[in-house]
């Protein structure tokens, strides 16, 4: 998603609103939530388009809810893994929630949802382009 955002920002046309208002931090947070839900073997390069679609779905869903919780703060699902992840347990305690979408205006959220749904319709084209660029660089 961050790569797609950067490609949109580098194009000759003005970037869509989601590229200007959703920060890399928002995208990384969505990715961390998705990474935690998806089995390791499912992140193979051959499944990249599926994972990007899932990330877009996750992003759109949480924009519709107008809620994206911080990945670490208040994430009680990580308590069992806190020691191995070197996360202080008090960060994970219940009731500690921080909504990353609190400071985004609802009209911005609505327009971003429309733009991301459009991006999703054309994701195969975008992924073909992304993968060909990545292959050319290696």
CB atoms under 10 Å from CB of 89, counted, come to 10
Condensed to tens digits (0 to 9), the pLDDT of residues 26-59 reads: 999 999 999 888 888 888 878 888 999 999 999 9
For 18, 47, 102, the CA distances from 131, given in Å and listed in that order, are 22, 12, 34
Based on its alpha-carbon atoms, the radius of gyration of the chain, rounded to whole angstroms, reads: 16
Largest CA distance in the chain: 47
Angstrom distance (rounded) from CA 138 to CA 79: 39
Q: With contact defined as beta carbons under 8 Å apart, do 74 and 92 qualify?
A: yes
* Residue given tokens 């990474």 in the structure block: 35
Q: What is the pLDDT of residue 8?
A: 85
Angstrom distance (rounded) from CA 51 to CA 34: 9
* Mean pLDDT, residues 98-126: 91
Q: With contact defined as beta carbons under 8 Å apart, do 66 and 36 qualify?
A: no
Residue 29 has what DSSP assignment? H
Q: What angle do helix axes 48-65 and 123-137 make, rounded to 10 degrees? A: 130
Condensed to tens digits (0 to 9), the pLDDT of residues 99-108 reads: 889 889 999 9
Residues of the chain with pLDDT > 70, as a percent, come to 80
């Amino acid at each position: 998603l961050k790569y797609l955002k950067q490609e949109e920002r580098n194009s000759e046309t003005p970037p869509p609103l989601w590229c200007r208002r959703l920060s890399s931090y928002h995208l990384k947070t969505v990715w961390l939530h998705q990474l935690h839900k998806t089995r390791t073997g499912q992140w193979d390069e051959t499944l990249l388009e599926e994972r990007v679609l899932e990330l877009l779905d996750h992003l759109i869903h949480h924009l519709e809810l107008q809620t994206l919780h911080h990945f670490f703060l208040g994430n009680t699902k990580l308590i069992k893994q806190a020691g191995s992840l070197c996360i202080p347990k008090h960060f994970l305690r219940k009731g500690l929630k921080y909504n990353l979408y609190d400071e985004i205006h609802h009209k911005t959220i609505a327009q971003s949802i429309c733009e991301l749904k459009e991006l999703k319709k054309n994701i195969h084209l975008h992924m073909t382009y992304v993968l060909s660029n990545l292959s050319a660089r290696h």
